[in-house]
Amino acid sequence: MNDLSGKVALVTGGSRGIGAEIARTLARNGAAVGLTYLGAADHADGVAKDIQADGGRALPIQADNADPEAVRAAVEATVAEFGGFDILVNNAGVFPSGPLDEVTLEDVDRILGIHVRAVFAAAQTAARHMSDGGRIINIGSCLIERLPGPGMTLYALSKSALTGLTKGLARDLGPRGITAVVVDPGPTET
């Protein structure tokens, strides 16, 4: 990985799992890292303390990805704390599952809000602060290609939409040298 000294990153959903490991890795490579959490302040504080114990800089930020204004505010808080913005990792998410006939339109709105609308809001706000050459990394899912069984329609829908959003961001921001990619992990032990 490149030296990230002097870079500023925000990892949504950075208090646990994949997001926590991404935040730690970015910090180990020199980036100052903001990380959002929904309700697990103790987990977020633990990740921040790990980063600080290794000599890094971290800022835990309470933000609900269901609220696009909270996500925008997290970007702004990261900029205010660290004086810039270079890397956005949209990791926050939920895993809805269940029979198709039990999924409500409210469920659809909520999941698309978390997995797509919040990512759009964060990317739009981050791009206003990013210098040329910034990075937007969206965490998708391998389940957009193959579903192992029933009950994952809503999840697959939202992560497929994330892929389309990412392709659009890449085209819109590419002329500025800002790369937008989606990473589709499978089951991951962190």
Structure tokens at 116: 């797509």
* Rounded distance between C-alpha atoms, residue 59 and residue 81, angstroms: 8
Say whether 37 is catalytic. no
Of the candidates 32, 51, 155, 166, the residue annotated as catalytic is 155
Q: Which residues are the active-site residues?
A: 155
